[in-house]
Every structure is written in C-alpha cells, then in structure tokens.
A and B are shown apart, each in its own frame.
Chain A
Amino acid sequence: MSNAVETDRVEHDPVRTNVIETREVCRYFGTEEMQVIALDHVSLTIEKGEFTAIIGPSGSGKTTLLHLIGGLDNPSSGTIELSGENIATMSGTQLADFRRDHIGFIFQAYNLIPVLSAEENIEYIMLLQGISADRRKKRVQEMLAMVGLEGMGARRPAQLSGGQQQRVAVARAMASHPDIILADEPTANLDTKTGISLLDVMRDLNEQHNMTFVFSTHDEKIMERATRLIHLRDGAVEKDERK
C-alpha cells in the first residue's frame, strides 16, 4: 500500500478476500410522490482479484451501483462494505481519504484535469497522499510505462488522443496502488482497436497485481474478458455468473 498520510485513514483487514460487499442496497431518486428506484435491494460480494463487469441495459442502475461502491453517492438503505469497512459510517473526510487510498476511478469521459499535464494528472493523487516528490516522479514514470505512454508525460489532455487520455486515466487510477479499480464504461468513447488495447492493459494489471476491477459496461469486449458478469435489470441483480 502507499505511503499515505495516516490521518483519518481507514485501514482494512488484509486477510479478507471480499473487497466489496453490498447488503440489500437500495437507491431511490426524486420525491416520495415521484420516486425512481435506481437500485432495488442489491446484495453482492466481489472478491479480491476479480475482473467483474456489471452489465445491463441503459437505466438498469449500473453507474448508480458503481458510484455507491465508490462512495460517490450514499445508498437510500442497505450497507456497503469495502475492504471490511462500512463506508456509510465514514465522515466526508474519511470517505475522501478512503477513496484516495483504496479506490481508483476510470470514467467514460476520461475526466482528466485539462490544465495539468499527463504526468501531473497521475501525480496529483500521490500529492494528496503526501508522497515525497522523488517517489512521485519515479512512480509516475512507472505508471506511464505500464500504460504505454513513455515520453508523453508532458502533454496536456488536449494534446492526447481519446485512447491515450483513457490510458492516462488508468495510470491515474493505478497510481495510488488501490485495492479496487472502478471503471464506468471505460471503452465507450474509444474505437475498437484502442478499446481492446486498453482492456489488455487492464487485464494484465489485474493478473499481474491481483487488482480488483469492476466495470459498468455495454462493451462485449469487456464482457469477453471479464471473469464475472453481474446482470442488472431495473435496479436488481438478474443474474450473477462467474466464468
């Protein structure tokens, strides 16, 4: 694990193999009169090292589930445990620190900071962790090499292609050595070839570092490579299959 600033950091039990556990999680939106059920009593467990794809039609609750798992949103009811910690009981600062140290995010729209270079985007999270400048620089170069972007660190997002931007996003997500990588439709904006290339990078990372990946996706390429498929429909788990 990283050399994070220890203040408010929530440590997890390293012997646990269940890194994600949701119990009867519901998420409603809107008012009582006009309530939309986004997730309906979702219970599932994801073990360390799984390469899981959450699939389902649009509006089935994939992104909502991913956001709840990532602590970006709070469930209306139910509990979510990440690495043995109930994230619902965490304060805003604790949750921010937990995300910083244990979760990496990859977004469909890349969401890199436009005014920062690729290196700086990757480095930012380590800056938050209080890692020394020398170690940050070294790890940034490792991450860029890992995603095949050596020599492109000084470029800003606007100077990179979509595939390259998403590789930077993967490197950023990996930089803090998180337990879980949550990827929301990571290949949706990429052409087939670039998407496959990126998926191969992520699959390699999963296999080499036993890192847990959870995708929300429509992409068949992801489904083919996933070790587990969780089918959502109308906010509920319709099917959960391991390959």
Chain B
Amino acid sequence: MLTGLSMIGGYVLCAFSFSLQNGSYGNAIDIFTLDHTGHIQIHKENYLKRPKIHKTINNAEEIGRLLEVEADIVSFSARVFAPALAYGDAKTSPASIFGIDVEKEPQTSRITQKVQQGEYFSASMNADGFYSAMIGQGLANTLKMNVGDELVLISQGADGSIANDIYVVSAIVGNKTSHDRQGVYLPLAAAQEFLSLGNDVHEVVIVVDHRDDARGIARTLQDKMPDVTVSPWQVVEATFFKTMEADQEGNYFTMAIIIFIVFIGVLNTVLMSVLERTREFGVLRAIGSRPINIVQMVFLETMLLALISIGIGMVLSLPLILWFTEVGFLLAEPIDAGGVAFQHLRGEFSAFVFFAPMALILSFAAVVSIPPGLRAARVLPRDALGAH
C-alpha cells in the first residue's frame, strides 16, 4: 500500500513538474516565436551571424510559391531590416527599420496586438504621397512623437546611396521593454524602395503547425532551397534554446533523483516482502521453479505494482494537468512579452508529460526489482522450509 502510494506520488509529482516546465518553456517559446522570430527563418547564407544590408534573398517570390504548397506551414512573410537615423521635431535617435508585408505579417506575428496607439498601417501612400510608419514606444518617447506626426528617416541604401524620406506615424507599438522599442515598421515595398533593394528581402519568416516540428520542416526546406539558409527557431534563438535544454536536463535529473529516492523506499519494501515470503519462495523452488522463474516473478510483481500505481497516478494527474493547461495559475504580476501581457502560468498537456514519468517509474521499478528477485532466487529450499 505504502509502496503503491509512494509510486503514485512520484508519478503525479513527476508529471506535474514536466507539465509545468514544458508549459513554461512552451509559453516562452511562443512569446518570442509569435512576437518576431517565427518558427523558421530563411536568409541569405551567413546573414544570421553577420547581417548586412546587401545579404539579400533575391528570389522571395519563388520561395513564396514553394512555401505555399507545404502542408505544415501555416503562414509566412518577408521582411527587410536596416539601421537608420530617425528625426522628430527637434530630436534625433538611432532606429531600426523593419520592412514588413502589411497583409502577411499579422499572420506570422502579434504585430497587430502590439499596437498601443493609432492603427495598424496600410501598404499604400496617403493622399499627400507619404507612406505610413509604426514606431516603437521607446522611439516615440525619445522623439516625443505621436500618431499623425511626420518622421524623417536617413539611412544608406543597398547600392551605397543616401536614403532619406518622410513617413507619417500611424501607430505606436509595444512598450519600453519590447525588442522593437527603437523600431520603425514600414510597409515592405516602402522599405525596399527606401533602401534601394528592389524586390529583395533579408528574411522570410515562417510559422508552422507545431513548433516542435520546426527542425524537421527546416531540414526539408533546406534540401529544397540549397541557395539560402533555413534556420529553425532553435538556431535563431540558439542561446535561449541551449539554456532551456540545460535547464530541462537539470530538471530531468532532479526528477530522476526524486524518483530514485522514492524507489529506495520501494526497494526496501520489496526486499522486506521477499524476506517475509522466504518460505513461499522455498516451496516454489522445491516444487521445480528455476531461479530465473523466481526472479521473473518478483520482477513481474514489482512491475505490476508500478503499472497499477501509474494507472492511478494518471487518473489523478489527468484532471490536474488539464486544469493547469487550460486555466493555469494566475500570476501576481503579468509577464510582459514585447507589449503583450501574459496573466497566467500554464502547463503542457502532451503525451510526453504522461509517458515520460511512466517510462521513468517503470525503468526504476525494473531496476529495483532485480536485487530482491536475485535474493529470492537464491533462497535454498532446505533453509526456507525450516529443516534445520
């Protein structure tokens, strides 16, 4: 009973911990992938390591046609980037230009949700012949700009020319901590024209059905597009991903230690049970059981107990994890993710959350059943039957 309870407790704890960890990281991954990185990015070779204005993709339309037929791809969008100097009424500030596809970008990122003031811009010029721009909260504060103000940008074109133009601020996006707080969003065509890029882009960002499939899809796309570099989010955000993996490994190790401690108790109980059943094992040996039959018996009994405990643990943890995934814990302070606030800490409801602890517990059960099994198999019928 106690052995079963400790296994049930171990399973529930383990499943909940995996759900919490994977849910937290899932949320974090969704925050940055759906904020700006997407699940997969396509660049000119080496652009990610050393971004340069002239490292462009010149066949974006062809890539677009290829991506449209991929079943696992939900959406994609092209972007251009460049540094610039932004002028307001009386102030200047460095800024980052993000040229985005006005129609497709909202399907690949949370850009529309990040609009704090004004409206999401259109791709066309206004009646005065100016394109719209959306600026980051930081830049708006520095330049003391509001919606409707004129913004002057100066930069260098890809052909070496001086780029300068006037834009009308249509919206202020994000907040002071957003990655785009110093950003200036321009319609893609306007940014290409401003930077003399023609139809070239720097990046094609892709969102897929399941983020965990990103690496496999990226590999497939890479095979189809050898002249560009296709990077899953794990490469784009390599530092985060490595940190996450290290943290997850640490958590798995901690869980393994907890389960190990649980199973020291299980081992003790099974050993005690074997001692109490010495006579029974002696009888079984006397009537013709091979030692291996006895080892198998103890092994199967322990595994059966583990399976029953796991079954009960699953029944208990299923509603708990479902609630944790759907509702989650209300955070005392919302987490700000680039201007989008997250109120709840949620878990993950997946096969991994339920089957990884199962595999862990079954593995430990199998290991701890062996010493008692061997001990039972070594019982001498003569001694067990109390001959002398």
Interface residues, chain A, CB within 8 Å of chain B? Answer: 29, 38, 63-64, 67, 70, 72-73, 92-93, 96-97, 99-101, 103-105, 107, 111, 113-114, 124-125, 128, 172-173, 176
Contact indicator B280/A64 (Cβ below 8 Å) = no
Segment at the A interface, from B224-232, B283-291, B360-368? B283-291
Evaluate whether A63 and B387 lie within 8 angstroms (CB atoms) in the complex, with A73-B382, A107-B283 already known. Answer: yes
Contact indicator A99/B284 (Cβ below 8 Å) = no
Contact indicator A100/B288 (Cβ below 8 Å) = yes
Main secondary structure of the interface of B (DSSP, over half): helix
Among B356-388, those with CB < 8 Å from A are: 380-382, 385, 387-388
Contact indicator A100/B382 (Cβ below 8 Å) = no
- A172-B287, A176-B288 known, 9 other contacts, Cβ within 8 Å: A64-B388, A72-B380, A92-B291, A96-B290, A104-B287, A113-B284, A124-B284, A128-B288, A128-B290
Contact indicator A72/B280 (Cβ below 8 Å) = no
Q: Is B293 an interface residue (CB 8 A)?
A: yes
Q: Which of A93, A111, A176 contacts B283 (CB 8 A)?
A: A111
Contact indicator A97/B290 (Cβ below 8 Å) = yes
Q: Which of A29, A105, A114 contacts B388 (CB 8 A)?
A: A29
Contact indicator B285/A96 (Cβ below 8 Å) = yes
Instruction: Produce 1/0 per residue, B205-249, CB < 8 A to A.
Output: 000000000000000000000000000000000000000000000
How distant is the Cα of A105 from the Cα of B381 in the complex, in angstroms? 12
How distant is the Cα of A172 from the Cα of B380 in the complex, in angstroms? 20
Among B276-305, those with CB < 8 Å from A are: 279-280, 283-293
- Complex contacts, B283 vs chain A, CB 8 Å: 107, 111, 113
Residue of B nearest to A36 (CB): B388
Residue of A nearest to B290 (CB): A96
How distant is the Cα of A111 from the Cα of B281 in the complex, in angstroms? 10
- Complex contacts, B286 vs chain A, CB 8 Å: 70, 72, 99, 105, 111
Contact indicator A99/B387 (Cβ below 8 Å) = no
Q: How far, in Å, is A64 (CB) from chain B's closest CB?
A: 7
- Complex contacts, A100 vs chain B, CB 8 Å: 287-289
How distant is the Cα of A93 from the Cα of B295 in the complex, in angstroms? 13
- Complex contacts, B387 vs chain A, CB 8 Å: 63-64, 67, 72-73
How distant is the Cα of A151 from the Cα of B284 in the complex, in angstroms? 25
Evaluate whether A96 and B288 lie within 8 angstroms (CB atoms) in the complex, with A64-B387, A73-B387, A113-B283 already known. Answer: yes
Q: Which of A67, A96, A113, A128 contacts B280 (CB 8 A)?
A: A113
